[in-house]
Homo-oligomer: A and B are copies of this chain.
Amino acid sequence: MATTDTKGELLDCAQDLIQRVGVNAMSYNDLSVEVGIRKASIHYHFPKKDDLIEALLLRCGNDYSDRYREIASSQKTVLEKLEALADMFDNSLAQGKICLVGMLCVESTTLSDKLQNTLESTINNCIGVIESIFIQGVADQTLPQDMNTNEAAHAFHDTLLGAQIIARSLKSRDHFKIAATTYLNLLRG
């Protein structure tokens, strides 16, 4: 998972910091301390902060797809797969981290136009991954036949994000688990 090269370390640490404190509270100085190279040296790998975030978003799309394929290719039922997805969010939460995409969305008005567009693509990418589970659920009749899978995927993701944000401030992983379970129970009907 963690890369050994500097560029990879920078991405790892930057993502970690952003997920914890946000883009605007994360500086090249913080990052330099974390990685162990000088602030100015970061500019060699990512000339502008925009370049860093751009790289982060593109990597996020890939990472997310990878981790999803593990879940999707498993022998789990559709609802178990949705639970596994919720567990990914719970895992971040346990480390005090908010979903990278969600974090950037909140601060999106302070991002460049280019980054806002990239962010939009990344969201749709992530939702596509979630939707494929819902599509599977409709196909195998676990979920209602008239379900709009795209809308359902969005709503599910919204709940996970919102619950993650509130749960962190309430310092209660239970809050997240309950919200996720409540939603999944509603899906069960």
Contacts and interface: CB of A to CB of B under 8 A. Distances in A.
B166 A105 contact: yes
Contacts of A106: 22, 98, 102-103, 106-107, 165
Contact of A20 (B109, B152, B158): B109
Interface string A59-77: 0000000000000000000
A11 interface: no
Interface string A88-107: 00000000101000111111
A8 interface: no
Given A24-B25, A107-B22, A166 B161 contact: yes
A123 interface: yes
Interface in A143-172: 151-152, 154-155, 157-163, 165-166, 168-171
Interface residues of A, number: 45
What is the interface of chain A mostly: helix, strand, loop, or mixed? helix
A171 B119 CA distance: 12
A136 interface: no
A178 B151 contact: yes
Contacts of A173: none
A116 B169 contact: yes
Contacts of A96: 109
A29 B74 CA distance: 53
A96 B106 CA distance: 11
Interface of A: 20-22, 24-25, 96, 98, 102-110, 116, 119-120, 123, 151-152, 154-155, 157-163, 165-166, 168-171, 175, 178-179, 182-183, 186-187, 189
